[in-house]
Chain A
């Protein structure tokens, strides 16, 4: 075939461009993949894209929320219900105020595994020292979405009012049809 082709500058340019794309892109892709795998294995993190940590370190039912506040917040209930038309996430958090000053907790935006933010939630209102209060929030998730984290805001009513927002990663929650 090519033995009889006379040298053609345009053809040589075409070949160079094609090689650059057709071999360069695969090499880059594989290098990125390999690097990503190394990063994941060697450095224990990385990979691109997931907005929150995977469910391995997410909060499950019965776990304490990793919130910096004088109270103890615990996830006591959570499920995704697909009954009816939508996909509804319900989270119940129990707030036990073991501190000396009133506090409050509000459950706010849920972020899905795909990175979308879902509005919804609920708040406790002021919780007096020694009191334990439950709060249940609901969110309507998009079809097929899995909740990855929920933003909680812990307020402490001391000498100054302090508000602290934390994105709490969520573990796997039961799905009820």
Chain B
């Protein structure tokens, strides 16, 4: 039976979450086009350079927070319900978290749009990182806080459902998708504490005038305590799709269930105690903490490399089931005409490249060469911008018919879309990496500096060529996004079909859960270890900062944007 018929309310929750996610994707994606054209000088007619920063804030918040989290929530609702084969315990809680998250997102979005729409008496041109002492309107901080609290309630919903299942199934291994959801959410709780403290204890009261000063370094450190782990909050839903859905799309099965669990546990342990690698060049943070963050970060390469192995092995298995033979020739037997397959595979391929440019970022002293240059957006557009976003789009092609009962429309467009994304992103990201090596800054509306006479020296190709490439890549990405939105919208608005042409069954893995040691499912143990690692990596530096200068010193008053 299709998911929408077996769990109609949960299917509706999935659709609502996807609706908010894709709405945010549409606006945020359009703003990305505006940025690509503006900063390269190709077209500056959309906004002034001062307003560029409102656009940039919206792009970051809508895509990196709203789109990603709502997509995760929809996907995880489906995954938990499906793998436990039961409804979440309390539907009111489900609606409650969705409403809380949505309200928070709207509040923050309104504040951000206040930078573009004069009628809105609020501004939040602080970018997605909102570093103090730049201060946004309190509405922005309140919205963010509510949004995060809503996500905590979503986790509670899924944990309660798991607990109910556990009472009925003592001694059984946690079904894989639920295991992935639970470990992701534990990681989320552990890491979002940082930004919650930053916003609720410091920035929100400070923006309301209740406390006079905050320490910019302390609040920044709390943000980055959260800020690296959040990228795994974006990545792990993609991993869930690559591990549990992609093998089936390839015609086969997941190579190893226990190894998938190990990977998710490694992320639980290592996602948070690495945050200082975003602060390598910060004053006020001693080199020792930076070094520790560096070695922790390098070990984060391990779960991703393991994933590469497992995913490729699973795909190869699938290809051979379809008749593929030979050392490499089996690649031809894969379903390259299947939009969900293509999207996930290209996303995974691009992620590998992004992982290696991430290793450069992680390289402490190497970071001097590229910090805050446009190399960094080049890196994260490969990771969140493709691994997460393109996988989300690909998963939608497969999942949406199952949660709506409607056949996917315009399949040829859906097929072209991921290829076009891959092409556009390669062009844009390649040029961003090269321009970053030349020192071109990120987060800048006009990186040309004509009056200061600063020239950037390209190592491979001229800066002008790189600018053109970024503009072209950005346009192709936007066209690809439009294709996706068109396919989804026309499918959504169409009538229900008597049958859908998607087979939702997920076969058992080649190496099943029983093959893995029971300790893998001991979430309490792994949570305790994760907490201990965080206490070492962050407890000491934070205590150091607070004990020497106090909670609020050296402090700054709000500087409105």
Q: How many residues of A contact B (CB 8 A)?
A: 38
A32 to B427, CA, bound (A): 12
Picked from A15, A25, A54, the residue with its CB within 8 Å of the CB of B336 is: A15
Picked from B338, B398, B412, the residue with its CB within 8 Å of the CB of A14 is: B412
A21 to B426, CA, bound (A): 12
Q: Report whether A82 and B338 are in contact in the complex, using a CB–CB cutoff of 8 Å.
A: no
Please report which residues of chain A, range 19-33, place their CB below 8 angstroms from some CB of chain B when the two chains form the complex: 19, 21-23, 25-26, 29-30, 32-33
A21 to B460, CA, bound (A): 23
Please report which residues of chain B, range 414-438, place their CB below 8 angstroms from some CB of chain A when the two chains form the complex: 415-416, 419-420, 422-423, 426-427, 430, 434
Flag the segment in A45-53, A59-67, A131-139 that touches B.
A45-53
Instruction: Determine whether B341 belongs to the interface, using a CB cutoff of 8 Å to chain A.
Output: yes
Picked from A30, A82, A146, A177, the residue with its CB within 8 Å of the CB of B455 is: A146
Please report which residues of chain B, range 442-469, place their CB below 8 angstroms from some CB of chain A when the two chains form the complex: 448, 450-453, 455, 457-462, 464-465
User: For residue A37, which residues in chain B have a CB less than 8 angstroms away from its CB?
Assistant: 459-460
Q: Report whether A33 and B430 are in contact in the complex, using a CB–CB cutoff of 8 Å.
A: yes
Picked from A1, A2, A23, A32, the residue with its CB within 8 Å of the CB of B422 is: A23
Q: Report whether B416 and A18 are in contact in the complex, using a CB–CB cutoff of 8 Å.
A: yes
Most chain-A Cβ atoms within 10 A of its Cβ — which of B427, B458, B464?
B458
User: For residue A158, which residues in chain B have a CB less than 8 angstroms away from its CB?
Assistant: none
Instruction: Determine whether A104 belongs to the interface, using a CB cutoff of 8 Å to chain B.
Output: no
A3 to B401, CA, bound (A): 15
Closest chain-B Cβ to A121's Cβ sits at a distance in Å of: 21
A175 to B408, CA, bound (A): 60
Q: Report whether A22 and B420 are in contact in the complex, using a CB–CB cutoff of 8 Å.
A: yes
Closest chain-A Cβ to B253's Cβ sits at a distance in Å of: 16
Please report which residues of chain B, range 374-425, place their CB below 8 angstroms from some CB of chain A when the two chains form the complex: 397-398, 408, 411-412, 415-416, 419-420, 422-423
Q: Report whether B422 and A80 are in contact in the complex, using a CB–CB cutoff of 8 Å.
A: no
Q: Report whether B422 and A33 are in contact in the complex, using a CB–CB cutoff of 8 Å.
A: no
Closest chain B residue, CB of each to CB of A114: B464
Q: Report whether A26 and B419 are in contact in the complex, using a CB–CB cutoff of 8 Å.
A: no
Closest chain B residue, CB of each to CB of A55: B457
Picked from A12, A22, A55, A82, the residue with its CB within 8 Å of the CB of B337 is: A12
Closest chain B residue, CB of each to CB of A174: B453
Instruction: Determine whether B339 belongs to the interface, using a CB cutoff of 8 Å to chain A.
Output: yes
Interface of A: prevailing SS: helix
Q: Beta-carbon contacts of B506-521 to A below 8 Å, as 1s and 0s?
A: 0000000000000000
Q: Report whether A3 and B430 are in contact in the complex, using a CB–CB cutoff of 8 Å.
A: no
User: For residue B337, which residues in chain A have a CB less than 8 angstroms away from its CB?
Assistant: 2, 5, 11-12, 15
Given contacts A3-B503, A11-B337, A12-B337, contact A143 B450 (CB under 8 A): yes
Q: Report whether B461 and A36 are in contact in the complex, using a CB–CB cutoff of 8 Å.
A: yes
User: For residue B461, which residues in chain A have a CB less than 8 angstroms away from its CB?
Assistant: 33, 36, 47-49
Instruction: Determine whether A113 belongs to the interface, using a CB cutoff of 8 Å to chain B.
Output: yes
Q: Report whether A33 and B434 are in contact in the complex, using a CB–CB cutoff of 8 Å.
A: yes
Q: Report whether B464 and A1 are in contact in the complex, using a CB–CB cutoff of 8 Å.
A: no
Q: How many residues of B contact A (CB 8 A)?
A: 39
Picked from B422, B452, B453, the residue with its CB within 8 Å of the CB of A22 is: B422
Closest chain-A Cβ to B445's Cβ sits at a distance in Å of: 15
Instruction: Determine whether A4 belongs to the interface, using a CB cutoff of 8 Å to chain B.
Output: yes
User: For residue A18, which residues in chain B have a CB less than 8 angstroms away from its CB?
Assistant: 415-416, 419
A144 to B339, CA, bound (A): 45
User: For residue A55, which residues in chain B have a CB less than 8 angstroms away from its CB?
Assistant: 455, 457
Q: Report whether A19 and B460 are in contact in the complex, using a CB–CB cutoff of 8 Å.
A: no
Closest chain B residue, CB of each to CB of A7: B337
Closest chain-A Cβ to B39's Cβ sits at a distance in Å of: 15
User: For residue A49, which residues in chain B have a CB less than 8 angstroms away from its CB?
Assistant: 458, 461-462, 464-465
Instruction: Determine whether B252 belongs to the interface, using a CB cutoff of 8 Å to chain A.
Output: no
Instruction: Determine whether A40 belongs to the interface, using a CB cutoff of 8 Å to chain B.
Output: yes
Given contacts A14-B412, A50-B462, contact A1 B339 (CB under 8 A): yes
Q: Report whether B460 and A40 are in contact in the complex, using a CB–CB cutoff of 8 Å.
A: yes
Closest chain B residue, CB of each to CB of A15: B337
A80 to B408, CA, bound (A): 61
User: For residue A40, which residues in chain B have a CB less than 8 angstroms away from its CB?
Assistant: 459-460
Instruction: Enumerate 6 A-B pairs (CB-CB under 8 Å) in ascending A order.
Output: A2-B338, A5-B337, A14-B412, A14-B415, A25-B423, A33-B460
> 5 closest A-B pairs (Cβ-Cβ)?
A36-B460, A22-B419, A26-B426, A175-B453, A2-B338
Given contacts A4-B501, A144-B450, 20 further A-B contacts (CB under 8 A): A1-B397, A2-B341, A11-B337, A12-B337, A14-B415, A15-B415, A18-B415, A19-B419, A21-B423, A22-B422, A23-B419, A26-B427, A33-B430, A33-B434, A48-B460, A48-B462, A49-B458, A55-B455, A82-B451, A177-B451
B residues whose Cβ falls under 8 Å from a Cβ of A: 335-341, 397-398, 408, 411-412, 415-416, 419-420, 422-423, 426-427, 430, 434, 448, 450-453, 455, 457-462, 464-465, 501-503
A residues whose Cβ falls under 8 Å from a Cβ of B: 1-5, 11-12, 14-15, 18-19, 21-23, 25-26, 29-30, 32-33, 36-37, 40, 47-50, 54-55, 80, 82, 113-114, 143-144, 146, 175, 177
